[in-house]
Every structure is written in structure tokens, then in C-alpha cells.
Amino acid sequence: MGPQETRSGDRSVGSNPRRGIVYTLPRCVRSRLIIQVVMNASSPNNPGQRRHRLRSVCWTLLLIPFLVLPYRWLWFPCALAGVVLVWPGRMSLAEVIRRDETLIVGSTVVLVLRTALDPEWWVPWTAVFGLLCWARSRAWWRPRLGAAAMPFTVIAAVFLLLRPEMRPVGNPGVGDGVDPNAVLVCAGDSLTSGIPPLSADDTYVAHLRKRLGCKVINAGVADNRTGDLLGRLDRDVLSHHPTAVLVFIGGNDYLYGIPRGRFASDLEQVVGRLAAARTRLVIVEVPSGVVWNNFAGIYGRVARRHGAALVRDSRLRCLYVSELLFRKYRSTPMTIDGIHLSPAGAAKVADWLTPYLEAALAD
């Protein structure tokens, strides 16, 4: 027997209890109820919920670029999260975190994700941030303390997160000008040697030769990894009795999946042997990944150990990120294939390196 029918043409719920009591209502009432439910789901009546969603979207959009930008810029979202955390007000710590959890938690996640293998970046700031959270949760916390803590939070973020990028590592030499009798050897891979169809005059080494006014030797070999450079160090670098050596290598180690420990060992041996030969050293930190940096911290530790100058990867990272996003829209791209430097890119890199090398080659 089929289900019973009501006089209005609607089915009763007796034969199918899962339909619920809504189906006992007239069709016009059901339609209005469904429309109201949909409207409530898509646009909550509570203005606080709408504001919370809007804040979360804004904080998410703000954090996304910092997944690829250089480390030195991470101070900004971290400082902003700290200011939001200590902002004078009567809200409890739990209420503040619930309101701005996307920024407060997200900034810390981005910082740790980007710099997990380089503790000098994230450990000090997370300790300060944890201290702020602890103080904010105490019963003695007052709005005036929040007002006093805001400038402290910004200064701490700048000092702990921006300072490592600005601080020079090592001091290879200071003088009035480049010694014209000095010899500079640029040791590296295809970023140094260049690749066809470009000529040797299109490399950053050629631009350095014009800028520095001394003997500059190109000791780059395409497809070289750090271990390969170690194997030819005597023949291609030390045999020239250099005054200074520019070490610009590591990209192929990343592309070939060389383990972090092996890369660190190879770079340590290369720089150690050059330092033992009493050459002045300038090391270029090569980006190793867009978000996760496989070799984070290695270049800095090796440079400090041997008194070398370190060219941080900030500008090179910006160059590659901009090429990744905008290369096809540029009239003069910085690379010829997304990796290898174009003549314009080589000139730009030479501009960045010149101040470090002038110091290393000074009288």
C-alpha cells in the first residue's frame, strides 16, 4: 500500500519517519523556511561573526606573500601579531586569540615553516612571543601595560628578525679602494660561468671585471655541485693565488636533492681550504626552495666560522620570485629560462656583489 496523502497533496510522515516534521507543513511555509535557512547559513545574522570572518580573510591575504618573500620581511607580520596580542583592552587572552587567531597563530606558523632549519631566526622571537602570551594571561595584566608593551613588541621583532639580515657576517677587509694588483676568483656553477646562447661577456663576472678594475677570473663550471667544486679547487681556484674568492654555489645541490648534511660538509671543506690559504672570502647564499629552505642557516654558520663576508639571499630570492610570477610580462627578463641569469640579471647581481668585493679587495 502506498503512503497516505493529505488533503493539500503533501505526503504524511507516517510511512517515512526520516522526512521529519517539516514535511507536515504546507508547501508555502516550507519554501519560506528553506530560504531563511539558506540565508542564515550564507550570511550570519550576528555582526560579530561577519567581522570575525572578514578579519580572518584579511589576515590570511596578508600572510600569504610572506610564504615566499625573504626572511627579513617576516618581522612585519610577527610584530603586527604581537601588537594585536597586547593591544590595550578588557578582553581576556582567550578572547583575543579567538578574535585574531589567524594572524596570531598564522604568523608564528609562517615564521617556523620558513626558518625551521635556522633556529637563530625563530627561537628568540617565539620565546618573546611566548612571554607576551604568558604576561597577557596573568591577573595583573592591565590595559596600560598593553600600551607600554606595544613599542617593545615592534622593537623586539625588528631587532630579532630584521637584524640577522642586516648584520654583516665577517669583515674581509676595509680600505680606500680596490688594489689594482689584486686577483679575484669567482667560483661557482652555471650562474657564474653562463650558458649558451650567452657569451662570457654577458656574465656577472664580466660586469665585475669592469667595475673593480683588477684581475677577475671566472672559475664557474655549469652543472657543478659543491662537491664538484671541492674536487677542482686546487686546479681552478688556488692555482691563481687569489687575493679574494667569491663562492657562489649551491643551486645544483638543491636541484639534485643533495642531503643537507652532505652539502654542509662540502661547503665547510671548500671554505675551510680557501681560508687556510689566507684568501679573503665572500660567500653568496643561494636560495634553496621557495617556501621550505633546505639549506637554511648553513651558509651563515660556515661564514662566521671562517670570517667570511656573507651576501644574504634576500635580493636573489626576490629576483627569482619576481621572475616566477612576472617573467613573461617583462620586456627585459632577469633570467633566460627562470634560473640562469640574462644579461640584465647578471648586471643586477654584479651591482649587489660589488660593495662586498670592493671591501675584500681593498688595499
Sorted by where each begins, the domain ranges of the chain are 1-43, 47-166, 183-360
- Residue 115: pLDDT above 90? no
For residues 262 and 116, which has the higher predicted lDDT (pLDDT)?
Answer: 262
pLDDT > 70: what percent of the chain? 83
Question: What integer is the mean pLDDT of 63-73?
Answer: 87
Which pLDDT belongs to residue 331? 86
**CA-closest candidate to residue 70, choices 165, 169, 157:** 165
Which pLDDT belongs to residue 14? 41
Question: What integer is the mean pLDDT of 24-45?
Answer: 50
**pLDDT-derived band of residue 49, with 50, 70 and 90 as boundaries?**
confident
pLDDT > 90: what percent of the chain? 55
- Cα distances from 196 to residues 190, 192, 199, 337, 345, in angstroms, run 10, 13, 7, 12, 15
Which pLDDT belongs to residue 166? 53
For residues 260 and 90, which has the higher predicted lDDT (pLDDT)?
Answer: 260
The DSSP letter of residue 249 is -
CATH number of 183-360: 3.40.50.1110
Which pLDDT belongs to residue 30? 47
**pLDDT-derived band of residue 48, with 50, 70 and 90 as boundaries?**
low
Which pLDDT belongs to residue 173? 47
Lowest mean pLDDT among 92-96, 202-206, 325-329, 345-349: 325-329
Which pLDDT belongs to residue 27? 58
- Cα distances from 330 to residues 141, 333, 351, in angstroms, run 53, 6, 20
Which pLDDT belongs to residue 20? 45
Q: Give the Cβ contact number of residue 15 at 10 Å.
A: 11
Query: Over the chain, what is the mean pLDDT?
Result: 84
Which pLDDT belongs to residue 298? 94
pLDDT tens, position by position, 121-154: 899 999 999 999 999 999 899 889 999 999 999 9
**pLDDT-derived band of residue 164, with 50, 70 and 90 as boundaries?**
low
Check: CB of residue 121 under 8 Å from CB of residue 314. no
pLDDT tens, position by position, 237-284: 999 999 999 999 999 999 999 999 999 999 999 999 999 999 999 999
Q: pTM here?
A: 0.77
- Residue 208: pLDDT above 50? yes
- Residue 156: pLDDT above 90? yes
Which pLDDT belongs to residue 193? 93
Check: CB of residue 121 under 8 Å from CB of residue 115. yes
Cell of 138: 596573568
Bridge partners, residue 241, by sequence: none
**pLDDT-derived band of residue 315, with 50, 70 and 90 as boundaries?**
confident
- Residue 33: pLDDT above 50? no
Which pLDDT belongs to residue 10? 42
- Residue 65: pLDDT above 70? yes
Which pLDDT belongs to residue 241? 95
- Long-range pairs for 123-129 at CB < 8 Å and ≥24 separation? 124/160, 125/78, 125/156, 125/157, 125/160, 125/161, 128/82, 128/153, 128/156, 128/160, 129/78, 129/81, 129/82, 129/85
Which pLDDT belongs to residue 11? 41
Cell of 26: 504546507
Which pLDDT belongs to residue 177? 80
